[in-house]
Structure 1
């Protein structure tokens, strides 16, 4: 959103926490506890002291929507290990002036996301239109009919969007809102009058050409999400369930993992766009591991280790049994690598990789 690295984001959140603007930052949770839900009106009430958020905070308090928050999906004690989700404290506003512009924007995002949960869902009206037109005649004199489909949606009730959207976006939409609303209403009213087999006049034809595009490169933010949701790549349902909610690393370590990969020159990070690309060294290491200890590249290995730790916690196996299996895995893999004779294969891989990095 702001083109900042996960490591910098953590530092900003830590600064906000130390200035008493937000709650404890090093958490994996995305929900609140029932205890916090009972006192949540205090956080909301405090935000009335910020002119930008005063109307939203007052509306929430007046409507009483916060009173039933404990019964929603935003509150779940079972999904909290140590700390609940990051939310604004409703205090510490004297420190806002000392924040740099980026930190101030991050704080605003946290506040908007927090206030959004007390608003209803946005409501859209979806319109689908299928039209047929003759495109030719066959030998029997029958017309060829071609189907043309059109669809769009119109925002009926903004719900949480009126607080979740950024000020800049709200301003831009406000400038064009009258025109957009009128056009949408006119279209909807005319479409309501249409019936099956009605004939429409074709005003114009145009052909839009396009090409399929490859997936976008990872940036620091999307790679963090990929690490968090690494379990989605696992086919085995039991193992996938085991790694669900944990993934690769934790919320406190994923940023540091990326930072280490960059510092070791295994990946290249564009500081301006936060786009991540592999380095030549990183590709070489990937191929070495893939041709020697391939399970290390598969999240299923992490899931199986997590499964073993769960068994230890449940008392199904002892800690000594778990460590013995882990030690056995390491020994077998190390001996297998020592007996490999794949230098020529690796050299071929390296030569192919180097072709992509010639200056």
Structure 2
């Protein structure tokens, strides 16, 4: 944001005055649009120091504070400039590749002393390549065979899972979908942590020290839904691509809404048709709406098994659960008999008939009350 842009030089000078960062502030460390882009800010801008001296901090708090300060210095330092080289050599029909680089200007890497490549575990990629020319013949000095075993990917921590959610979709083959997923991922910065907490609350995974371990319940759910559309990460990319088209005026919003509605019906029917997730019973009644499907009993809902229809009828009505026979009356006759035991939101009991309206939504139909005149005649 513009107001932050104006404050950065003062904050950088303040960080440079701290003993821990003495000499690390580069003369050309100034705010640029490369590091400050208001268009990319979502929930909030990056963490910044305030200019107040960090006094009486615990060891942990001090570590976090200086992580933020150091990252600020890196963000506004000069670029790191290095020469990289890749050499491909052939021996007995087998290609060998060597990589190397020489840092010409440390830039931001000098803040933490990375100018010599200390952060890179691969010595081959930081070694200087001799001045070979294309077509040179190299002498073979030695050869060896190294045996090893591949390792499975480590378990996620909360930090790595958040990162994976942010970059989800980078392995999607479709270029357009991958580009659409580039800036969205799964969830938003404000919702990803709550998504993880929901997985804990529902017993799908648990903490084992720093690692996140899926439970048997979580693995069972994954084995069922992994091939379903609801688990397709490309779906998010498709939506983002469509939203971008709406923004450019290339797609009417109503078309997108209809696609979302169709998708919702599809995944709901797909999930409900899975016997491993939802046990169901045949009601023996045809769907009153489409006439092609059969209404199936599930736990709290009766639903048409025709994927193009999927008419739902919920059992719970005004704090009363409809029985199988009452549901069948509704499906075959379009209404139930007069039922007792309903309760309003105010806690008052009432009697009513449950019926379908013209759009096959369930509504209450109340019996006609006897007029006072009729009651008076009967008393006479």
**Pick from 192, 213, 224: which aligns with 1:277?**
213
**Pick from 223, 234, 254: which aligns with 2:192?**
254
Residues 1:74 and 2:25 are matched in the alignment: no
Within 5 A, what are the aligned runs for 1:107-256?
A: 107-124=65-82, 152-153=100-101, 155=103, 157-165=105-113, 207-256=145-194
* TM-score for both structures, normalised by structure 1: 0.59
Shift of 1:110: 1.6
Q: Which structure: greater strand fraction?
A: 2
Structure 1 CA distance, aligned partners of 2:86 and 2:178? 38
* TM-score for both structures, normalised by structure 2: 0.56
Residues 1:87 and 2:48 are matched in the alignment: yes
Residues 1:296 and 2:230 are matched in the alignment: yes
Contact 1:233–1:299 (8 Å) recurs in 2: no
SS in 2 for 1:93: coil
Give a deviation string over 1:6-50, Cα, whole Å, max 9, x none: xxxxxxxxxxxxxxxxxxxxxxxxxxx455334421111222442
Contact 2:49–2:68 (8 Å) recurs in 1: yes
Structure 2 CA distance, aligned partners of 1:198 and 1:243? 45
Alignment gaps of 5+ in structure 1: 1-32, 134-143, 174-179, 344-359
Contact 1:88–1:111 (8 Å) recurs in 2: yes
Shift of 1:311: 5.7
SS in 2 for 1:56: coil
Name the residue aligned to 2:4: 36
Contact 1:239–1:304 (8 Å) recurs in 2: yes
Contact 1:121–1:159 (8 Å) recurs in 2: yes
Q: Report 1 or 2 for greater relative contact order, CA contacts < 8 Å, sequence distance ≥ 6.
A: 1
Contact 1:240–1:303 (8 Å) recurs in 2: yes
SS in 2 for 1:42: helix
Within 5 A, what are the aligned runs for 1:279-358?
A: 279-290=215-226, 294-310=228-244, 316-318=251-253, 322-340=256-274
Structure 1 CA distance, aligned partners of 2:188 and 2:181? 12
Structure 2 CA distance, aligned partners of 1:297 and 1:47? 46
Residue correspondences, number? 271
Alignment gaps of 5+ in structure 2: 278-380
RMSD: 4.3
Within 5 A, what are the aligned runs for 1:56-71?
A: 56-57=24-25, 60=26, 63-66=27-30, 69-70=31-32
